[in-house]
Structure 1
Amino acid sequence: MNVLIVCDSVFGNTQKIADAMRSAMDSEKVVMCRPHEVTAGPLDHIDMLIVGSPTRAFHPTKPTTDFIHRLSPNQLKGVSALAFDTRIASQDVSSKALRIVIKLLGYAAKKIAKKLHHKRAHLLLQPEGFYVTGYEGPLKEGECTRAAQWARAAIKLSQANNKD
């Protein structure tokens, strides 16, 4: 299986999550790059696309959004996809007003998934968030392990779907 992981990272936490996913997919052919590095070539022969971004002002980063917008309308038809982000858990936010805004506006992963779906990708799993302990991190304990498990589950699901 050919997997492309497109990951933007501001403080390095999202990159660590993507690295954990790549390590978990050791039996697959995995290419990882930043959103601005993706050209049409790597997209031509992929079976799975994983897109990750830190949540910035309740959205994915601009490079992540720009990457998805550059895709042609049907470019991801037949491609399995996953969307993830890094975020601060709403219960860890001290401001009640900010917790309400988080509840209303959400996080980046769901927005990434929606954009991938509009490009005709098949979303294997629900968008996932991985938690940091503060604005700049670090990651909460166990998040890289959880990311690796999530990636392995997606590979198994994709392989099972391909057998049908």
Structure 2
Amino acid sequence: MRSRVVYESMFGNTAAVAEAIAEGLREFGTVELINVSAAANVPAPTVDLLVVGGPTHAFGLSRRKTRLDAAARTEAAVAVDIGIREWLDAALGVPEGRRAAAFGTKVAKPPWLPGSAAQATGKRLRRIGYELADEPVDFLVDGMTGPLVAGEQARARAWAERLAHTEYDRLAHHC
């Protein structure tokens, strides 16, 4: 099975989740792990499963302004011109039957805080024609800049292993 994980990360938390997801997917095939800032330069995915995720900013996917705000809070290089929102908005429709999954990171507290990059990503993936392989999943961060809540990387890897197993079985029965 061929998979591609495209992610956006400001403080390294979503990148860590994306890496854990890629590890879980590798149990069943090959995986490309691509930061969204480079994804526009990579050919459209001809993969069995596309997994896309980013951080929750202002109750949804980041925008240029929220990325600029985040960049001011870190010493790390942060791509501010493109995020998951823009990348998916520029994507062409996909043939029927293409599968994808969505994930995101969001602050753990307060737990009632609305909004989810995962949910917004899932909606955009469906809008361009993907069938979701699972419900969008949020992974929790301690505060705005992190770190990830204990156990979230393991949960991300386990989620990806389950996704990969399900998709691998689905592909095996359709061939």
TM-score scaled by length of structure 1: 0.86
Residue equivalent to 1:82: 101
Residue equivalent to 1:30: 31
Residue equivalent to 2:53: 52
Q: 1:23 to 1:14 in 2, by over 3 A?
A: same
For the pair 1:160 / 2:175, whether they are aligned, the reply is no
Distance, in Å, in 2 between the alignment partners of 1:9 and 1:76 is 28
For the pair 1:67 / 2:68, whether they are aligned, the reply is no
Q: Tell me the SS of whatever aligns to 2:156.
A: helix
Contact 1:76 1:120 in 2 (8 A): yes
Unaligned residue ranges in structure 2 (runs of 5+): 64-82
- Code of the aligned partner of 2:56: T
Distance, in Å, in 2 between the alignment partners of 1:43 and 1:2 is 13
Q: How many residues get paired?
A: 153
Q: 1:16 to 1:44 in 2, by over 3 A?
A: closer
Q: Tell me the SS of whatever aligns to 1:138.
A: coil
Report Cα offsets for 1:18-77 as digits up to 9, x if no partner: 0011112224111111223124754242111110100011111231101101111x2263
Q: 1:154 to 1:76 in 2, by over 3 A?
A: farther
Distance, in Å, in 1 between the alignment partners of 2:129 and 2:26 is 27
Residue equivalent to 1:116: 125
Distance, in Å, in 1 between the alignment partners of 2:45 and 2:53 is 20
Contact 1:8 1:61 in 2 (8 A): no
Which stretch shows the higher mean deviation, 139-148 or 19-28? 19-28
Q: Tell me the SS of whatever aligns to 1:25.
A: helix
* RMSD (Å), alpha carbons: 1.8
Identity %: 29
Contact 2:24 2:164 in 1 (8 A): no
Distance, in Å, in 1 between the alignment partners of 2:163 and 2:44 is 19
Distance, in Å, in 1 between the alignment partners of 2:166 and 2:133 is 7
For the pair 1:93 / 2:133, whether they are aligned, the reply is no
Unaligned residue ranges in structure 1 (runs of 5+): none
Q: Tell me the SS of whatever aligns to 2:145.
A: coil
